[in-house]
Amino acid sequence: MGIRITNGMVTKNAMSNINFNKTSLSTLNTQMTTQKKISRPSEDPITAIRALRLRNNLNEINQYYERNIPDADSWLELTNDALDSIKSVMQTMYEKCEQAANGENTVEDRQIILKELQNLSKQIYAEANADYAGRTLLSGYYTNKDVVFPRDTDDAHYLINETLSVSDITSATYIKNKIDFEVSNPTIQHAADMPEDVEVNRIRLAYNELDYDENNTTAKLEYRKAADGITSTRDADGKVTITGGGADYTIQAVTNDDGTRTVTVNDGTADTTFKIDKTGRIVPQQAQNGISIKLNSSGNIETTIADTSQSAGMGGDANTSITIETTMAGRQVGEIIANYEMDVEMTTMAVNEDEAYTDFSSGAHVKCIAETGELILDDVAFQELQTLKAVNGKDPMTFTYEKTGFDRYELVPEQYFDCVDLTDAANPVTYVKQSADIEYAISFNQELKVNSEASDAFDHDTNRDIEELIEMISASLAAEETVSKLKGMLEDSKYDSQKTELNSMLEAAKRQSDIANEKVRAAYGHGVTNFQKYLSKIETQITDVGSRQNRLAVVKTRMEEQQGNFEELQSKNEDKDIEEIMIEYQSAYTAYQAALTATGKIAQNTLLDFIR
């Protein structure tokens, strides 16, 4: 039996078809406007999910390619420029030393060289504070801090722990019995003793003009050796037990839920607890119960314990403590170290310069001259210290001293040493020298170091060499002037009654001038060697920066290609071609018009038409 189709059914079906065609037109009209395949995820969930993934990847690529890589490229380029400028000054210094070392220099020559050196000494670190968008380039992640003091800073006060190696022990010529003669206001007298050159063993510190402390409450020289007869064991919980010293100790480090760490040291009777905050700061900072800890640049814990069980050091002194380096998991790193402390006599040239350099009658084996920043060693100290070796890959000596007041372009201590800024006595700030790399994410799972630290490119020796050379040339010129003045006085009849004294002083002055000139000639030779070394060091850093720039260029090219590929994939997934849309739109519009026409004709028929 057939099914009866009513007018209502026909009309409803026709209206449904018209609505479908209108919906298609609306969809195509939206696509024509946006040129996108879908406007809502529900229209095509697969396309929507793929679009989200592609957009996330493209956003990440854009972050690398359009932001991180250009920023890293600018940072590296400016760093390279700053290092090149410093190298250029060093190259000039090298050429001046080489020129002076290979020829005879008149008084006029030395005066010219002196002026050039004085100007270069002011310029050599001028580029060290180069910045990028307000961030200092060569100061590690302390980008808000200077590498050198931008101006004379009289109130800056630091306690500095300067690490020293055996190579820092050198010999220097000191002129003893210098004549006391003021050219502008001469005092004529017999030269009591002839000037003589004396070889002194010394360690030149990073700074001069140190705080003079006659009672020596701060200055101390510590040196280290591998400990004998002390062992350590570690249990499953990471607790380290040290045996064989003056007492048995245990050390255990725990990482807390808040990211801080707690280190507990037990001496067999009680616990001594230290906390390391998220920045690496130790609380408390000072030693407790003869125990102190330090977080080093490797992220390991160095625990120092009062212990005098080791064999005697220089002068029969016992060691003061032992130090063990452990990882946070309790594994020992390297050897256990025995620490020794050597008495240092703090002295000044203001009383007697000769005594400061040559007199060890006080019994101290090491003297520190505050004005020059030199440690002068007697034979006993020299023999002891020159046999030291690096322990656990670290320099074997540390000298602690205070300095108040820094000149413009002197290097800031925290960029090079462990130190304490005591400028605000009520709020001292402790710095631990460690690697301060700044790394940028430049690609998927790839990071690039963008900075170079000043301490990797140059150090205090560069400027200290210049200062010493300037002082030597000045002393040489002053000695020449004294000789010239004395010769003139001998030719002046008004000094006839004092010719014996003048001849005595002239002989001394000539001797002093000869020694001073020889010092200058030797210094030029040393300058050639030293500046070759300094140039090599900074060139190594420039090469390193260049290699990182090359790597960045490769990544940039790859990111550009990936950006293009992902944009193409995104376009294929989301975009629709306008010509294709127009064709579909015209087809849908024709179907819509046909549906309207057909429906209009159907709607004109009534039931009477079918009855007839």
Q: Which residues contact residue 323 at a Cβ distance below 8 angstroms, ignoring those fewer than 6 apart?
A: 224, 302, 303, 304, 305, 336, 337, 339
- The whole-angstrom separation of Cα 234 and Cα 250 is 9
4 pLDDT tier (thresholds 50, 70, 90): low
Which tens digit of pLDDT belongs to each residue from 55-66? 788 888 888 888
Half-sphere exposure of 483 (CA within 13 A, CB side): 17
Q: Classify 461 as helix, strand or coil.
A: helix
Enumerate the domain spans of the chain.
228-334
Beta-sheet strand order (sheet of 196-204): 169-176, 196-204, 374-377, 366-369, 344-347
Whether the bond into 70 is cis, omega within 30 of 0:
no
Q: Are strands 291-295 and 153-164 parallel, antiparallel or unpaired?
A: unpaired
For residue 607, pLDDT beyond 60: no
At which residue do the structure tokens 């109130």 appear?
155
Helix (H) or strand (E) holding 262: strand 261-266
Phi and psi at 337, nearest 5°, equal -110, 135
**The token pair that represents 346 in the structure block:** 């703090």
State how far the Cα of 517 lies from the Cα of 471, in Å rounded to an integer: 12
Q: pLDDT value at position 602?
A: 66
Strands 220-226 vs 418-421: parallel, antiparallel or unpaired? unpaired
pLDDT at 110: 78
Cβ atoms 377, 203 nearer than 8 A: yes
The secondary structure of 103-125 as a DSSP string is S---HHHHHHHHHHHHHHHHHTT
Task: Supply φ then ψ for residue 458, to 5 degrees.
Answer: -160, 165
Return the sign of the alpha-carbon dihedral for residues 114, 476, 472, 519: positive
First to last CA, the chain: 22
Q: Which two tokens stand for residue 214?
A: 């006659």
Question: Which amino acid does the sequence have at 555?
Answer: V
* Average pLDDT for 485-500: 89
Question: Mean pLDDT for the chain?
Answer: 85
285-328 pLDDT tens trace: 788 888 988 888 778 899 998 888 888 777 677 788 899 999 88
Cross-strand bridge partners of residue 404 = 157
Tell me the whole-structure pTM to 2 decimals.
0.80
Type of residue at 541: Q
In percent, the amount of the chain with pLDDT more than 90 equals 31
Q: pLDDT tens digits for 253-274?
A: 988 888 888 999 988 888 899 9
Kindly report the length of the chain.
612
- CA of residue 231 relative to chain centroid, distance: 35
> What confidence tens digit (pLDDT) does each residue in 527-585 have?
889 889 999 999 999 999 999 999 999 999 998 898 888 777 876 766 667 777 677 76
Q: What is the pLDDT of residues 367-388, one digit of tens each?
A: 999 999 999 999 989 988 998 9
Cα 129 off chain centre by: 12
d(Cα 272, Cα 277) in Å, to the nearest integer? 17
